[in-house]
Structure formats: C-alpha cells, structure tokens
Structure 1
Amino acid sequence: MEPQQHNAQPSPESGPSRPIEVTVRSSPKFWPFLVTGALIGVFAAIVSAYTGEEAVEFTRGAVLGFLAVFFGMAGLTLGAIAWLVTDRVLRKRTRRATAVPLEGPNAAH
C-alpha cells in the first residue's frame, strides 16, 4: 500500500513558511488485486477442466480455454470488488497531519 498525500503548496509571496494541513491515508494498489483475481480464476479453470469428465465433443484444451476466459473474468471482477472494499476500509483510517516546509540549503532534498 502506498501513502497518498494531498499537499497544499504555499505561494512564494506568503512570506515565512508556515505549517500546512495535509490529509494522509493509505491506498491499495489496483493492479495487484486484478492480477491476483484473474490468476485465481484461471487456476480454478484448470482444476475444473482436468477434474471433470472428458466431453465427447470437446478436448480438455478447448474446455480449459473456455473456462479460463469465463473464470478469469469472474476472478478479475472479484479482485476489483476486493480492491473497492479494501480502499473503503482504509479510507476510514484517514488522518490529518501538519507538514512544516523546510528552509535553507537542505529544503530541496
């Protein structure tokens, strides 16, 4: 999870630097949730294709291909829902903080 900050930059004319109120919260990364959901769906397709009875009309590879698409999409959807729930839970843990701008030669570092 990566922290996000909403910074209000003071204008250069504001004189001496003053503390700034910022909002700090953790936010989960979106893509790992989607990839994990899709991989779980494809794994479920592999298990389903090779544990069931073999169909007369289709090979196991064809069945695996169809199931991988459908289960992969279902896993992708469930991964997106899991991301939304996690983001909603972490949004409740948002906190306010005071940031103090640095002055002098070390301010740019």
Structure 2
Amino acid sequence: MEPMQQPAEPTPDPTPSGNIEVVVHAAPKFWPFMGVGAAVGIIIALISAYTGPESPDFSRGSVAGFLAVGFAFAGVLLAGIVFLIVDRVTLKRGRRATAVPTGEPEHH
C-alpha cells in the first residue's frame, strides 16, 4: 500500500469568483434549416416528376418518390452549408459581455 493515496472523489479546483468575459450572439436553430432544406428538395422533386415527360416504365408517383429522396437529401446538405455560413456570420457579429457568477457552483 502506498503511503500517499489519492482520495476516492477528486476535489474540484477552486474557481475565481471574478467576472467572466463571454461572446453573446444570436445562433440560428439547426433543425428548422434542415426541415426547410428537405421540404424545398421535395417540392422541386414533385415539380420535376410531374412536369417532365412521362416514362412508359414507371408511374409519375414512383418517379416522384425516387426524386424526392434524392432531392431532399441534396436540400438537407445545402441547408447544412447555409446553416454553417449563417452561424459564422452571427458569431462574427456577436458582442462581448461580462457574466457575473452568482451562488455556489453545482457539483455533480
């Protein structure tokens, strides 16, 4: 047995009770961007399926379903890229603020 053993529960480092500088910005929500991207892709797929020439091998409904999957996927990818761009722009426009800690820190 070692003469100096570690305690079973680590003790947290004392935190300074001073103010904390933070960046405040309006972040966009992720899921609405993805939903709009998928919806736009599906609408474009339906327009493509029902305005294009009819295939003798497949019904318009099956073509629409096939295109909807591919176009929705592409719409979600593009919406993700737009989300990242909007998030970076809002982060650059963020402002610095001072956060004042209140109360005792929570220990779990």
Q: Show structure 2 runs of 5+ residues with no match.
A: 1-13, 104-108
Q: Deviating runs (4+, > 6 A) in structure 1?
A: none
1:8-56 Cα shifts (integer Å, max 9, x gaps): xx84xx6xx6433222122111111111000000000111111111110
Q: Show structure 1 runs of 5+ residues with no match.
A: 1-9, 104-109
- Residue 59 (structure 1) aligns with: 59
Tell me the amino acid that sits aligned with residue 30 of structure 2.
F
Whichever structure has more strand as a proportion of its residues is: 1
Q: Distance in 1 between matches of 2:100 and 2:32?
A: 34
Return the TM-score normalized by structure 2.
Answer: 0.73
Secondary structure of the structure 2 residue equivalent to 1:57: coil
Q: Distance in 1 between matches of 2:72 and 2:20?
A: 45
CA drift of 1:96 comes to 1.2
CA drift of 1:93 comes to 1.2
1:67-106 to structure 2, matched below 5 A, reads 67-101=67-101
Query: Is residue 22 of structure 1 aligned with residue 33 of structure 2?
Result: no
The structure whose Rg is larger is 2
Percent identity for Structure 1 against Structure 2: 54
CA drift of 1:73 comes to 0.6
- The structure showing larger relative contact order (alpha-carbon pairs under 8 Å, at least 6 residues apart) is 2
Size of the aligned set, in residue pairs, is: 90
Return the TM-score normalized by structure 1.
Answer: 0.73
RMSD: 1.8
